[in-house]
Structure formats: C-alpha cells, structure tokens
Amino acid sequence: MKLAPDFGSTLREYGNGPTLAVLDKSTGESLAELGTADATDVARAAYDAKTAQRGWADTPAEGRRDVFVRAAELITQNHAELVEWLMRETGGIRHKAEFELLKSRENLLQAAAVTTRPSGEVLPSPVGVLSLARRVPRGVVGVITPWNFPFVLALRMLAPALATGNAVLLKPNPLTPVSGGVLLARLFEEAGLPSGVLQVLPGDADVGEAIVADSRTAMISFTGSTAVGRLVATACAPLLKKCVLELGGNNAFIVLDDADVDAAASAGAWAAFMHQGQVCMTAGKHLVHRSIADAYVERLAERARALRVGDPALGDVQLGPIVSPAQLDRVRRIVDDSIEAGAVVVTGGTHDGPFYSPTVLSEVSELMPAFVEEIFGPVAPVVAFDSDEEAVALANLGDYGLTAAVRSASETRAAAIADQLRSGAVHVNDQTIAYDTWAPFGGMGTSGNGDAFGGTADLEAFAEWQWVTRRAGQTTYPF
C-alpha cells in the first residue's frame, strides 16, 4: 500500500465538516482537499473507539508489539513520499523531515518495547492473600497535536497511548492535517491496528473542544501553545479528566566567559534557526557574558548571513517559510516592537513573502518583547550579563521552564549553573534542542503541567494504577 496520498488528492472520508485546503507553505499551492469532522463525527468516533478499545487491550502483548514493528518498517519503505509531504506541508527542509521520520521510527520501536514491559508489582500481603498493583489502560485518549513536527509529535503521544492498551481520538492541527493525521491513519491501518482503535478527526478548535468534552475520553494529551493549553486544562478540570500538557518555551542558552565563542555561536545558530525557529525548544534568549558578547554577536551574525532561505522543495536551503501569515505577523511584531524599545538589528529583520531572514538582535533587555515572548521564528535575541548569578536570574525570569543549555570550559561550573535552572531539561555544553524517545520530556511552570512523555514516563501518563487482591478461600467477617 502507498501510504502517502498523491498531491492534489481529495480526501473526504475524514468527516462531515467543511472541506479544508491543505497548502504548500512555500508557494500557497493546494496540496489536497480534506474533509473535516464536526461534533457528530466526534461523538461517533468516541463511541467506536470505546467499543474497540477493550478488544485491543486484550490483544496479547506480542500481537500489539508487532503492529508497532510493522509501522516502523512502513516508514522506511515509504521514506521518500513521507519526506516530500513533510517538506511541503510543514515548510521544513529535507534534513528536518528526515530527522522527524528517524525519531518517528524510534517512537514506534519504543512503543513496541512498552507492550512487553512489566505492568505492575507484587505487594506485601498476609499469608493466603495475593496483593498486586498493576497499570491498566485509561480507555480512550484524546490526542491534540501541533503543526511544527506533526508526524513525530503525534506519535510521541499516540504510540505509547496505543501501546498501553488505549484507543485514541487524534486531532491534527489544521495547518498540517495530512502529515499529522491522514498519514498516521494509513500507517496504522496498513500495520494491522484493528479497526476503530485509532480515529482521526481533522478540524479546527471546535473539534478539539468536542473531544475534550466527550464523556468517553478519559484523558487528553495536548502539545501546543501555553495559551491553548490553559483552555484545555480549564475544560478538563470540571470533568475531573486527566490532561498531559507539553506547552511553549522561552529557552535560555547561556554562554559563560570561558566558553569557546566559535563553538558557542555554532550551537546558538542551530538552536535559534533550526526549522525557522518554529520549535518549542528553540533558544529564545541568548544570555552571553558581557566580556565576550560582542564577539559572540559578530560570529552568530556571520553564521546567520550565510544561511540560505527559500522553498525546501526547490533547492538546498537551510531555512524554509514561516508556517502561516498569522505567525509571520507575530514574528514581525515582536522584532519591530523590540527595535522600537532599543534593540539593535545586527542582521536580518526582513522578509520576502513567507520567508523571514535569520535575525540577530543585540542590546536586548529583559523588558523587551523579544526577551519576554516566545517568538517562534528565526530570531536570536542576545542579552549580556556580568556574573553567573545574573545569568541564572535572567534564565529563570518569566513563567516558562521547558529546556535550557549552559556552555563553559569548566563542566563543573556549567553544571553548577544548570542545577539552579527551573527547566524540564538542561544540557551542559550543548544547545537547547534535543530529543531522545526514551528520555522523559516535559516542562515546568507554564511549559507544562508536571507530566512528561518518553521512557518510563509513558506508563505513568497513559496508564493508571489498579490494586488487586486475591484470596485462596472465601473469608468471613464479624457481621
């Protein structure tokens, strides 16, 4: 089976709602016409998923495992077509698309391992009593995904949810409904997942709201902006429904005075400009010791000027388009308002259509929008500091706490700073963008709600504890 639909396809089997045009982010060309869901579709899908979930949970572990192994093989077999869809629908360069598929395969193989992992433990108990604590599926999980890495960030939630015996309602972002939805539906169908266990529901916010509100969804897993995450949490709270939120970040990249400036500028450029800065782990504020700040800015700007910007489908470029006009307006507003407040454009600050040039800002202060807000664009704001204590204070300033990095010639000194950062992930002598499927990943503060994805965290997120006791004989009580 060919997983990826042909460009120009009409895909109406995904709901009764209005038709959605799927666009090439570089050219604005329509890649496909896709049917979207409405409230009736959500209710029907939730019913079907709940009906199918019990049989899926009862499937022997090796049977569930094999579905994920076959899905990983299908990604390899359909690599070229999947890369093309990811490039054109997300605006990402080829390297980004290939990285996304690599991590997607890892997610699937990690999920395969989850199916055969011990699901509980034997507890102390009196003679004649067997006392067990075991993890059981939550039931139906609603998964709501973002547009920047739609395939892998869906699988990061979808795969462990399925591996622990749940059924899933998947709502992809309307900017990337094929990469984040249709391709995954076809992948799991071909891999042998039983009918009904995965339901894909493309659409806008009203579809997500219906998934959250439906009494048959036991849990919501959401990756996206902090603003929308607050709405999801607010909707789940009165329903006493578990939600796992991985939200935005404004991540600190700290460069100490003894760091290798060239190496730091290389890491800083990658962390700022990879996928046009449209990554939750992007280095949002470059905190550099004042004694080397000018040198760092100069080298970072040199690297920014050397980057080629354009349509990833047409040539060898390092940066593609900003995903939407609304996001482009946001990047432009933050940069312009920061310039008005005193920031200096060292390079960039302009755009040609959807292509925003990699931008370096110096003289940035902690009161400017480029420091305070999550930009989600190819902009590197540089802030000078005078002491390690000031670096820690600047890094922890604000409500976000997703990821951070510290660079120094002294690993011990960098580690001492890292230990003081309020962040879900901290990387010493590296940069802020890192992802291992077996590592627990989640944010502190307004970057999450305390839960994480990956490794052992998946069992905690997508299964719940049940206490079971068994007695050999039937006991009696005083009354």
- Could you give the residue numbers annotated as active site? 246, 280
Name which of 272, 273, 269 is nearest 299 in CA terms.
269
Element holding 135 (H helix, E strand): strand 129-137
Q: Name the residue among 306, 291, 239, 295 with its Cα closest to residue 263.
A: 295
Question: Which amino acid is present at 204?
Answer: D
For residue 306, give both structure tokens: 């050397």
Q: Which amino acid is at 311?
A: D
Could you give the CA distance from residue 242 to residue 158 in angstroms, rounded to a whole number? 16
In angstroms, the CA 260 to CA 415 distance is 16
For 428, half-sphere exposure in the C-beta direction (CA atoms, 13 angstrom radius) is: 14
- Taken in order 432, 433, 437, 440, the sign of the CA dihedral is positive
DSSP secondary structure, 429-454, as one string: TS-S----TTS-B--SGGGBSS--BS
- CB of 360 closer than 8 Å to CB of 346: yes
Angle between helices 150-163 and 61-77 (to 10 degrees): 160
CB atoms closer than 10 angstroms to residue 18: 10
Q: Is 360 helix (H, G, I), strand (E, B) or coil?
A: strand
Kindly calculate the radius of gyration of the chain based on its CA atoms and give it in whole angstroms. Answer: 24
Give yes or no for a contact between 322 and 356, defined as CB atoms under 8 angstroms apart. Answer: yes
Tokens coding 31: 């890649």
Q: Which residues lie across from 9 on neighbouring strands?
A: 32
In whole angstroms, what is the distance from residue 24 CA to residue 321 CA? 10
Q: Which residue, 348, 299, 288, is CA-closest to 319?
A: 348
Q: How many CB atoms lie within 10 A of CB 55?
A: 12
Q: How far apart are CA 366 and CA 430, in angstroms?
A: 23
